[in-house]
Structure 1
Amino acid sequence: RPAEYVPWEVVHWEHFNTPDVIIKPGIMPGECWAFEGANGYVAIQLSMPIYVSGFSLEHTPKELTPFGHIESAPRKFSVWGLLSLEDKDEEFLGRFEFEDNGKSLQTFDAVVREKAFHLVELRIESNHGHLEYTCLYRFRVHGRPAI
């Protein structure tokens, strides 16, 4: 945790979650990966190559937020499959929209591919109106092992 020292004041500690928080349990307010602006991306290495069938994106429920809305939630996003981080031939697995009036956990079907992927890249293209940052709480990849 970085400390911020301000003269004549108490030390103020700030905590920043790293992107790996999106694959861990928990959806309480603040248990997210917040990134600047309305778009960003993250690559997730899977434990084994899988045939991807879908994805789930989760945000904290509106009822748990201070003002009852989720402007920082991702809105439009796309997902891409890769064999490795060096892979230049990424494959489109779908473009989706997280509905702010929907459930806090939403599931989306992938474009079916006859190829197993070892990584997926999630690209957030917009959020629900927050001008400063986007909060990504949970992202899950669904499929079957390529064994």
Structure 2
Amino acid sequence: CWPMDGSSGYLGIDLAHPIHLHAVAISHAPASVAVDLRAAPRSLAVWGRLMTSQPHAALFLLGRFTYDIRAHQTMQTFDISRSLHPYRFQSFIVAVEDNWGFEDSTCLCRVRFHGK
């Protein structure tokens, strides 16, 4: 897993090619191997830079999500609004707004972008 200092932070991701984003998936280590489940992300926002011919394209809020450490699945998928499916994105910011109470660090084990 990738730890970041504190209970919040940002991760920037550039894909090799732009996609029509349909969902974002986030995972954290299962309870059986996690050092501290409180380090899992809780509230997240995902931003995307719209692919346009403009050199300074604006960021769009693609969604706000809650990762549930009590869920059976450690990989949790969050759908993006259908109204955003026609647009292409290549650069993303995953903003962890808070975690489950561990002040020292927050861990992201996997971030996936699903689309075409």
The two structures have a TM-score, normalised by structure 1, of: 0.70
CA contact (8 A) 1:92 1:111 kept: no
Name the SS of the counterpart of 1:63 in structure 2: coil
Residue identity over aligned pairs, in percent, reads: 34
- Using the TM superposition, give the Cα deviation of residue 88 of structure 1 relative to its aligned residue in structure 2, in angstroms: 4.9
Q: 2:59 aligns with which of 90, 99, 113?
A: 90
1:42-70 Cα shifts (integer Å, max 9, x gaps):
1111111101000110111002235xx51
Per the TM alignment, residue 83 of structure 1 is displaced from its structure 2 partner at its CA by 4.0
Q: CA deviation at 1:87?
A: 3.9
- For residues 75 and 9 of structure 2, the distance between their equivalents in structure 1, rounded to whole angstroms, comes to 20
Task: Verify: 1:51 aligned to 2:23, yes or no.
Answer: no
Whether 2:88 is the aligned partner of 1:116: answer yes
How many residues matched?
110
Q: Is the contact between residue 50 and residue 57 of structure 2 (CA under 8 Å) also seen in structure 1?
A: no
Question: Which gives a bigger RCO, structure 1 or 2 (Cα 8 Å, sep 6+)?
Answer: 2
The one of 35, 43, 46 aligned to 1:79: 46
Structure 2 gaps of 5+ residues are none
| TM-superposition CA deviations, 1:88-123 (whole Å, max 9, x none) | 511111000000101211100012312101111100
Unaligned ranges ≥5, structure 1 = 1-31
TM-score for the superposition, normalised by structure 2: 0.87
**Matched position secondary structure for 1:60:** coil
CA RMSD of aligned residues (A): 1.6
Q: Which runs of 4+ in 1 moved over 4 A?
A: none
